[in-house]
Amino acid sequence: MASRLVIESVLRPYDLGPTQWYVLRQLANAGATPQRDLVRMLQVERATLTGVVAALVRKGLVEQTPDSTDQRQKVLSLTPAGAALWRELPDPITRILEVAFDGVPQTDIDTTTRVLRTATDRLTDLLSERRETWPS
């Protein structure tokens, strides 16, 4: 919760929320992305992402175009205004890491990262196994 509050406070002056920031981050780093892929990447409901994308389009930061292979699907890309804003935005993740881990030895950070990654992988594997055995 504390991390989310920091992210929100860093982004508030730019009239962005955390999910909007993550969409912009994906588009800035990976380029045009199918909207359906963002649902999986961001682990949000389709309806939630639809609202987030609509807000970014309304702000003129993101462009939505039909997918060339499936006209029902949309591909998202940054507009010039979105790219300009991205270049000016502070990175809230960097800010969190600077504050949260200031003075913590790198070996402790590495151990914590390894432990959390392992735990996350195990939980993800468990969910995958359960989904395969759940009735359709």
> Rounded to whole angstroms, how far apart are CA atoms 75 and 41?
14
Q: Which of 102, 100, 98, 95 is nearest to 11 (CA)?
A: 95
Q: What is the mean pLDDT of residues 80-104?
A: 92
pLDDT at 5 over 80: yes
* Lookup: tokens for 40: 């999986």
- This prediction's pTM: 0.76
Phi, psi of 79 (to 5 degrees): -85, 170
Is 7 in contact with 21 (CB distance < 8 Å)?
Answer: yes
Angstrom distance (rounded) from CA 97 to CA 92: 9
